Amino acid sequence: MIEALRGPLKLFESTAKCPVCGGESLEVSVYMYFIPYFGNIVMYIYSCGNCGFKSSNVGVLEEGKPKRVIVRVRGEKELRYIVVKPAKASIRIPEVSLEYTPGPYSTGYITTIEGILHEFQEAASIACQHAETPECPKILDWLKRAIEGSVEFTLEMCDYEGTGKIAGEEVVETDVNECGRAES
Ligand SMILES: [Zn+2]
């Protein structure tokens, strides 16, 4: 019956201790959402009524081990792959030394590989406005062409929670200890 779900289904609500203000005022809502050809996703929405702290996380329903997920992106097809990025997962594009490292309040979310490129583009644009380096035009141009699907690259997600997922033909999962290692 779960396959018939169309929108997020609220599983439960509870109250927990807020990591910012320490009050027992953190509302936790847990939703399940089914994505066709992908599987069941669990979403966690956190909101503190005392200090206003908000966060969210996401993960696949199946229990998994921490893993390194590698995708060889060759064009538009792979750019559309769905990515479940848990809060503690890092993302790296070794060819251009782009890296996203999570902080203590990072959120988890569902996106696509193209969506990740847009995030890198936004971050690079902001960084380059503040400090224009000789690398800036090069990296912004690379990101523009990557979003258009006209460059090949490798995307690495290091999933320390084991609840992340990228689904598609060119996706390879290996040991999380190989994270950051150069591709042979
Ligand atoms: Zn709070």
pLDDT tens digits for 37-63? 788 899 999 999 999 999 999 999 887
Separation of CA 109 and ligand 1 centre (Å): 21
Separation of CA 7 and ligand 1 centre (Å): 29
Domains and CATH numbers, the chain: 2-60 (2.20.25), 67-178 (2.60.120.1040)
Cα separation, 81 vs 170, in Å, equals 10
pLDDT tens track for 116-132: 999 999 999 999 999 88
Separation of CA 108 and ligand 1 centre (Å): 19
N- to C-terminal Cα distance for the chain? Answer: 44
Q: Which amino acid would we find at residue 150?
A: S
Look at residues 161, 125, 159, 167 and name the one whose alpha carbon lies nearest to residue 142. 125
Separation of CA 14 and ligand 1 centre (Å): 15
- What the block records as the tokens of 103 is 């902080």
